[in-house]
Structure 1
Amino acid sequence: MNDDTIRLATIGRILRLRWRLLAVLTVLGALVGYGASAVLFPPRYTASASVLLLGQWEERELLTQVDIATSSSVADRTAAELGWSGVGGGELRDRVTAEAADGNIIKISGTADTPERAQRLSDQAARQFVEFAARITGGGTGSEATAAPEALRKKVDEAGRRITDLANAADPGRTVESVQARTALEKLRTSLEEAMTKLDQAAPANNKAGMVVMGPAARPGDEAPPTTTQLVVGGALLFFLVAVVGHLTAARMNRRLRAGPEIAAALGSVLLGTVDVPEERGAHQPEAPGPRARIRRLLGVDTRWDTPAPQRSGDEAGRRIRYRRVCARLREQLPAPRRLLVVVPYGDEIARRAAGQLVAEARSEPSPASSSRGYPVLRVVEVPVDRPTVPDRGPESGALVVLSAGNWTAEEVGGIAEACADGRHEVVGVVVAGPVRARATRSAGHPEDHPTVALAVHGRATGDSV
């Protein structure tokens, strides 16, 4: 796992080097959001109607009315009145909501696929709620609410007149029985009048159950969330963030070897040093055939983004000093002059150019046994990391492995070491190459040696001689 700290520069490098892939994934996320809005979340519109509750109401009583407004009984009555095909009371319960507002107001909201249906749903739900609430409280609506008390008053008045008639028709004599009868009738009339008075006094309390729909619901003009625009933007943002987090997670889980000592340990050899290779614009890169490789190149995923940014290099003389020091350490590792194979992973352009420069520097060094030049004698071979094959031991006896940091895992590097062992070559050393940014201007006394590098690299995994 890579434990490097994630910085803003890392995010910027992802955006700069993976912008094509991120753009494609963002557009894909927008399309997924649009598809979700059409299939899973079709456009919805919400309209609201308000019901005013007359009288004094406590908070718990208002909450009870809210539950009644969203009950199955009200939903079934609403569905029966609307008569929408395939829409029953159970589905309307999911579309109708209610809440208690300030001022003894119950706000009933209905959601439908069109503004007209949403308006009709909320109006009908409010109307059915008022009728149902009046029924369960024992009251009525319209003329029924006032007809019953008026009929009762008429009956009481009629009873009072009958009592008066009976009292007048009693024995006009002053007998005890007649006096008692008249007294009983007067008490009965007084009791009826008191009962009617109490009934009139209790009438305002009964009006508590009165409810009034405060006009029709306003027709909605905007969609209810989540809207199509919200889903499209959300899908694009989600895919973009997942892509960035995926890149960061892959970088954190990257097992490619970055440090020279780790690479030398994986090869079971010693690190001879690190060398710099100037970046070249338009340098040849091995291209894999096939449509998948073309898609990778089109999306920009065929190049690594998580490698460190190349540092600015010194002049040509400083870089050549590093190569000479590597050749000097290599000669110290060899007991006697001999030929060596320079093993380079296939596709590692930085390592290939570094190997060519090492060959050129080795040729320019004098041999300790004679005045001739070319010690040690190096030959470059490129081996594929998936199935590495190194030429058998022959004129060359030993291998020098050159590769770039951050491109190969421990298993791949170990496979190269095993291939060298199979060819009976001892890995005498490891050289790590890193890209650098060359200066724009060069001194006149140090010409470029790129032509020499290009001529030095001809070997392949087949073992053909230079």
Structure 2
Amino acid sequence: MNQAHTEDLGIGQYLQVLARRWPVVAVTVVVVTALTVAYVVLAPRTATATTEVNLNVISTDPFTASRSASGLVDGTTEAQIASSYAVAVLASERLGDGTSSSELRRNVEVTPVADATVIRIAYTAPTPVAAQRGADMVAATYLEFRAEQAEQRLESMIARLEARLVSLREQLVAANARIASSREGSSTANQAVSDRDLVTIEIDSLLAQKSDLERIDTSGGAVLTPALENPVVHAPGTRMVLATGVLLGVVLGAVLAFPADRRNRRLRRGGDVAAVVDAPVLATLEGTEIVPLLEGVDRERMRAAREALLARLPDGGRVLAVLDRTATGAPDVAVGLALALAQDNRRVRLVLPDGDRDEVRDATSGLDLEQVAGGAMEVSRLVRGLEVVRAPAGGPCDADALITREVRDHVRGPGSAATVVLVVPHAAGAASRSAVQRLAQAAVVLVERGVSRSAEVRRDARALTEAGVAVLGAVAVPRGRRPQPLVPEPQPRVLEPQPLYPEDLAPSVPEGEPEDLAPSVPEGEPEDQAPPIPEGEPEGQADRPAAAEVTR
């Protein structure tokens, strides 16, 4: 591929691929949308309800200014507790609808709100009522579980403080007893006083801690918005799922369009043809009928193609191969190219393998060919210097089915023309194309827009280039070319039957004479007298004496 084409690959090229392969995109969208509709119809529908809960900060000083309330609550931990097995067991027992704790945990989703003491508890069920009831029940159970856990922790802490206070009070009584039994100012009395003061200080501290713990609010929190007040989300959501299916179909169809275009790409634009053959498009013909001789605009374009071809023809390029990749198999374009070359005062030999085909005879019918004595070659009386060889297809003993010995002799044998145009039909096999690569020095590719496949044309051009054959360009013809309709032959004129009897030859009555005027009968002859019957004639023929004369 040339550098110019590589740089041309961009958004425009991608859009052209999508435009060419729009049926792939359309079919993909239809299939994916149909599957989406089937999913919406067949998939079990569920409802999801949400309850919003505000968590209570369980602290000895919940209103401290040093930290915010959200900083005193770990939302991730609370979400894990709300969806825990312990809460699920309690909630499933309270629901009483046969939902197990494991199923309930699968249906619950807890989401903490960032930088807040709020969590959202979502519950999914087959019906909206069941979803709302489940969300509220899980929220209430979680708050109660949270309060019970806080209460248990506080009771445990207070119990430990009470036990410590009992021990300290006993120590205080013992210290007071030692003070009373000791002499004032003695070392024993002084030690007892010191112990009493220390115990008193610790007792005061423990009493203050106990007082703070007893003031803590252990309620778990409160429901901000019950599930009944929040919207219920149904799944699958019909609109969202259908929109997603259509979008997915468009994306998938666009993705599939490129490999489909690569596998079965047909050449439609001149830029595609030039990129595939890595050479310019010499001519783009417009005629939709296969005619013996190109006419009008196509004739001028073929002459322009001749000039471009001669400008690119390498030195010593005597044999020009014309590779036909059109679907019709008619060599009329190759005939037109050879004719244009001959009109440039060149001696041109057009070699047509498999020349017994009707398409070959029709394409060369307008050249007014004349047989050369003592050979299979024909010359055109239309253009001087144009020789035509219509070589028959080879048999089992020939080297090739198309490039036979006769074809090779006419291409490179003695007495060959200055320029040889060798036509390679579309049906030529690999062996025939390889033989052409050895015979030709230059080549032109014929493509049919919208029909010729890029893979085949690219393979031909690459093989020719690797064999050292210069690919001069391509000639593009429109899609769906058909033979020119035959002009019906004139039918012979049918003559009307001539009258055979005298009464049919009655003269017309002149103007001014009565219609009943009859020739007069001579005097002396009866009116009904008939001419005599010659001897040997039957009597019945006497009344029609002039029939034989009319027939003669």
2:36 to 11, 21, 33: 33
Contact 1:30 1:235 in 2 (8 A): yes
Q: 2 CA distance for matches of 1:62 and 1:223?
A: 24
Q: Percent identity?
A: 22
Pick closer, same or farther for the CA change 1:103–1:394 going to 2, 3 Å: closer
Give the AA of the match of 1:208.
T
Give the AA of the match of 1:232.
L
Match of 1:48 in 2: 51
Contact 2:55 2:222 in 1 (8 A): yes
1:355 to 334, 337, 345: 334
Match of 2:127 in 1: 114
Match of 2:252 in 1: 242
Contact 1:366 1:375 in 2 (8 A): no
Q: 1 CA distance for matches of 2:422 and 2:392?
A: 10
Contact 1:274 1:432 in 2 (8 A): no
- Alpha-carbon deviations, 1:119-151, whole Å to 9, x = none? 1111110111122223333459xxxx9xxxxxx
Contact 2:380 2:387 in 1 (8 A): no
Give the AA of the match of 1:246.
L
Match of 1:323 in 2: 306
Match of 1:21 in 2: 24
1:95 matches 2:95: no
1:400 matches 2:412: no
1:407-422 → structure 2 map (5 Å cutoff)? 416=429, 418-421=431-434
Contact 2:323 2:445 in 1 (8 A): no
Pick closer, same or farther for the CA change 1:389–1:4 going to 2, 3 Å: farther
1:413-452 → structure 2 map (5 Å cutoff)? 416=429, 418-421=431-434, 426-427=439-440, 429-433=442-446
1:217 matches 2:227: yes
1:221-370 → structure 2 map (5 Å cutoff)? 221=231, 223=233, 227-248=237-258, 275-280=282-287, 316-323=299-306, 326=309, 333-334=317-318, 343-345=323-325, 347=327, 354-361=333-340, 368=347
1:133 matches 2:125: no
- Alpha-carbon deviations, 1:355-376, whole Å to 9, x = none? 2422543676767599953524
1:77-96 → structure 2 map (5 Å cutoff)? 77-85=90-98, 87-96=99-108
Give the C-alpha shift of residue 70 in structure 1: 1.0
Give the AA of the match of 1:345.
R
Give the AA of the match of 2:443.
V
Contact 1:45 1:224 in 2 (8 A): yes
Q: 2 CA distance for matches of 1:229 and 1:34?
A: 10
Give the AA of the match of 1:377.
V
1:134-149 → structure 2 map (5 Å cutoff)? 134-138=147-151
Give the AA of the match of 2:23.
R
Contact 1:71 1:93 in 2 (8 A): yes
- Alpha-carbon deviations, 1:319-360, whole Å to 9, x = none? 42323675896997449xxxx9855235278x9553242254
Pick closer, same or farther for the CA change 1:435–1:314 going to 2, 3 Å: farther
1:158-169 → structure 2 map (5 Å cutoff)? none
Which is bigger in relative contact order (C-alpha 8 A, separation at least 6)? Answer: 1
Contact 2:108 2:121 in 1 (8 A): yes
Contact 2:302 2:337 in 1 (8 A): no
Q: 2 CA distance for matches of 1:454 and 1:123?
A: 81
Q: Unpaired runs of 5+ in structure 1?
A: 146-151, 153-191, 265-270, 285-312, 383-387, 404-411, 437-452, 456-466
Give the C-alpha shift of residue 379 in structure 1: 5.0
- Alpha-carbon deviations, 1:240-297, whole Å to 9, x = none? 2232233345667999997889859xxxxxx9x953132356x79xxxxxxxxxxxxx
Q: 1 CA distance for matches of 2:35 and 2:45?
A: 14
Contact 2:83 2:105 in 1 (8 A): yes
> Aligned pairs, how many?
337
Contact 2:322 2:446 in 1 (8 A): no
Give the AA of the match of 1:96.
V
Give the C-alpha shift of residue 213 in structure 1: 3.2
Q: 1 CA distance for matches of 2:273 and 2:446?
A: 11
| C-alpha RMSD over aligned residues | 5.4
Pick closer, same or farther for the CA change 1:390–1:137 going to 2, 3 Å: same
Give the C-alpha shift of residue 73 in structure 1: 1.2
Q: 2 CA distance for matches of 1:232 and 1:381?
A: 63
Give the AA of the match of 2:48.
Y
Q: Classify the secondary structure of the residue corresponding to 2:226.
A: coil
Give the C-alpha shift of residue 42 in structure 1: 4.5
TM-score, length-normalised on structure 2? 0.47
Pick closer, same or farther for the CA change 1:364–1:78 going to 2, 3 Å: same
1:65 to 58, 66, 78: 78
Give the C-alpha shift of residue 67 in structure 1: 1.9
Give the AA of the match of 2:37.
Y
- Alpha-carbon deviations, 1:300-332, whole Å to 9, x = none? xxxxxxxxxxxxx98853542323675896997
Q: Unpaired runs of 5+ in structure 2?
A: 63-68, 156-161, 163-202, 291-295, 349-378, 394-399, 412-420, 450-481, 485-552
Say which one has the larger Rg. 2
Give the C-alpha shift of residue 46 in structure 1: 3.1
Q: 2 CA distance for matches of 1:9 and 1:97?
A: 47
Contact 1:400 1:429 in 2 (8 A): no
1:123 to 132, 136, 142: 136
Pick closer, same or farther for the CA change 1:327–1:427 going to 2, 3 Å: same
Q: 2 CA distance for matches of 1:117 and 1:356?
A: 83
Q: Classify the secondary structure of the residue corresponding to 2:283.
A: strand
Give the C-alpha shift of residue 422 in structure 1: 6.0
Match of 1:74 in 2: 87
Give the AA of the match of 1:278.
L
Contact 2:48 2:232 in 1 (8 A): yes
Contact 2:107 2:124 in 1 (8 A): yes
Q: 2 CA distance for matches of 1:39 and 1:118?
A: 21
Pick closer, same or farther for the CA change 1:417–1:95 going to 2, 3 Å: same
